[in-house]
Structure 1
Amino acid sequence: MDIKGVAAVITGGGSGLGAATARALAAKGAKVTVLDVNLDGAEAVAAEIGGLALTCDVTQESAADALDAAAEKHGAARILVNCAGIGPAGKTVGKNGPLSLAEYSKVIQVNLIGSFNMLRLAAARMIPLEPVGEERGIIINTASVAAYEGQIGQVAYASSKGGIVGMTLPAARDLAQSRIRVNTIAPGTFLTPLLMTVSEEIRNSLGAQVPFPSRLGEPSEYAALAVHIVENTMINGETIRIDGAIRMGPR
């Protein structure tokens, strides 16, 4: 898809991978709407790129209102990139007993159900559009290498990201007749706001575990892959790892 002039929506766009993707798509000429539960973060990114900022809880039916508000400003979105997510740690059974069902459910609700919610709502709005070239739209979800090699304490997070990987191909098949593509990016250890909360020593240690390049990934590298997926129509139903060849150990 030619990105120039196309409306794009980024969830979790107020920071990290989402903010980098918003910047990259805007640089290609997209009309970008930044969605986030943190409106201040969304507004900061939107002001930087000349986009629109809206508050949005991806887990709610009301997320449809955000898509409609974005469409009023920029036209119906043909690009959706789902970057909203959370990643609290917790063992299946820890020192204080079994992992709270509420904690587990929250991670699934935000990461997996939130991604599907935005996917279904955005796809429904893409279907009536006239195709641009070969396609009507493209949806990119964000998983993680934890979907394949979840570490100790990542049972909820890995479950949610594994679900995203699992829904990618059937969603792409569901939407193929409508000329809408669905893909997923599975990042390794990236320099996101979550990792900025730990010490530089820990960040350097995590980066050293990556075979090559031996460092943390930059959000701009995730964004560059997202842009390529949008532009390359043949990439469909695929989950692409971007991880420097890391395969996570138990810890």
Structure 2
Amino acid sequence: MQLNGAVALVTGAGSGLGAATAEALVVAGAQVVAMDLNAGGLAALAARCDATPVVGDVTSETDVSAALEAAKGLGPLRLAVNCAGIAPAARVVGRGGAHDLALFEKTLRVNLVGTFNVLRLAAQRMQALDPTAPDHERGVIVNTASIAAEDGQVGQCAYAASKAGVMGLTLPAARELAKSGIRVVTIAPGLFETPMLAGLPEAAQAAIRALPPFPARLGKPEEFAAMVLAICANPLLNGTTLRFDSALRLPP
């Protein structure tokens, strides 16, 4: 996928992995529509790079359609990157009782339903495009899962289930969309420097930073963005989930 001159939609672009990805795509020559509920984060992103901010909820068909219309105004949509997500922690049975069902449902709705909502609507737009040479490719969709989908820790039932769902839809979506020349790839990152981590107590942060075997550090959002660009550049990457985690396997 040639990024120079292409149009991309990035969700969760108000901070963290999404913001870094949006910035990297702009540098690569893409025209980027950045979507997030965080209006302040989008404004800061737009001040740093030439991205088009759209405030919206990935679980809303209306909001995602509006973001795709904004992308259409820039040109043919060739890339959609799903970075929007939440990561609440709660035990199945904690001190206050059973896991809040509404929290479980919300986590699946944002992380899984939101990802699929963007995927289905972006794919519909991509199918109408002319294919590009030499592989007759119409578009690429990159999803974000987590190594928690395979190594879920105590308190991560909702989060792990939502990310396992993202991994599970990757291959069937890629198989179905193959006839249209649309690739679907998921990245399962390990531990990264994000605002989510920065909100934890210092002791918890120190324990987390000590976990990755090699490199023995947390990932940088810019490295996640580089992986997105690598997926776009390599047409054989399709229908798979790529662990991106410094050989880390999460302890219980």
TM-score range, shorter chain: over 0.9
- Which amino acid counterpart does residue 28 of structure 1 have in structure 2? A
Question: Counterpart of 1:193?
Answer: 195
Please tell me whether the aligned partners of residues 43 and 52 of structure 1 are also in contact (alpha carbons under 8 angstroms). no
Deviation at 1:198, TM superposition (A): 2.0
The one-letter amino acid paired with 1:178 is S
Q: Which residue of 2 aligns with 1:99?
A: 99
SS at match of 1:34: strand
Please name the residue that 2:69 is paired with.
Answer: 68
* Cα distance between partner residues in 1 of 2:198 and 2:114: 24
5+ residue gaps, structure 1:
none
RMSD of aligned residue pairs (Cα, Å): 0.9
Give the match for residue 226 of structure 2.
Answer: 224
Deviant stretches of 4+, over 4 Å? none
Q: How far has the Cα of 1:66 moved from its partner?
A: 1.7
Alpha-carbon displacement from aligned partner over 1:106-127 (angstroms, at most 9, x marks no partner): 0000000000000000000000
**1:164 aligned residue (155, 163, 166):** 166
State how 1:131-170 maps to structure 2 within 5 Å.
131-133=131-133, 134=135, 135-170=137-172
Query: How far apart are the structure 1 equivalents of 2:113 and 2:232?
Result: 23
Write the distance in 1 (CA, Å) between the matches of 2:22 and 2:202. Answer: 27
2:13–2:36 CA contact under 8 A, matched in 1: yes
* Aligned positions of 1:1-251 closer than 5 A: 1-62=1-62, 63-72=64-73, 74-133=74-133, 134=135, 135-250=137-252
8 A contact 2:183–2:238 mirrored in 1: yes
CA deviation digits over 1:181-238, x for unaligned, max 9?
Answer: 0000000011111101124443232121111011111111111111100111110001
Instruction: Give, as a single letter, the amino acid of the residue that structure 2 aligns with 1:66.
Output: A
Aligned partner of 2:207: which letter?
Answer: S
1:33 and 1:46 in contact (8 A); partners too: no
- CA deviation profile, 1:51-103 (whole Å, cap 9, x unmatched): 1000110001112122112211x123110000000000011111111111111
Q: TM-score, normalised by structure 1?
A: 0.97
Scaled by the length of structure 2, what TM-score is found? 0.97
Whether the aligned pair in 1 keeps the contact of 2:54 and 2:67 (CA below 8 Å) is yes
Taking the aligned partners of 2:179 and 2:240, their CA distance within structure 1 comes to 17
SS in 1 for 2:109: helix
Whole-Å Cα distance in 1 between the matches of residues 22 and 70 of structure 2? 17
Listed as ranges, the gaps of 5+ residues in structure 2 are none
Question: Matched residue of 1:78: which SS?
Answer: strand
Q: Could you tell me how far apart the structure 2 residues matched to 1:112 and 1:189 are? A: 20
Q: Residues 114-153 of structure 1: CA distance to partner in whole angstroms, max 9, x if unpaired?
A: 0000000000000010012220000000000000010000
Using the alignment, how far apart are the partners of 2:28 and 2:205 within structure 1? 31
Give the count of matched residue pairs.
249
- Amino acid paired to 2:69: D
One-letter amino acid of the structure 2 residue matched with residue 241 of structure 1: R
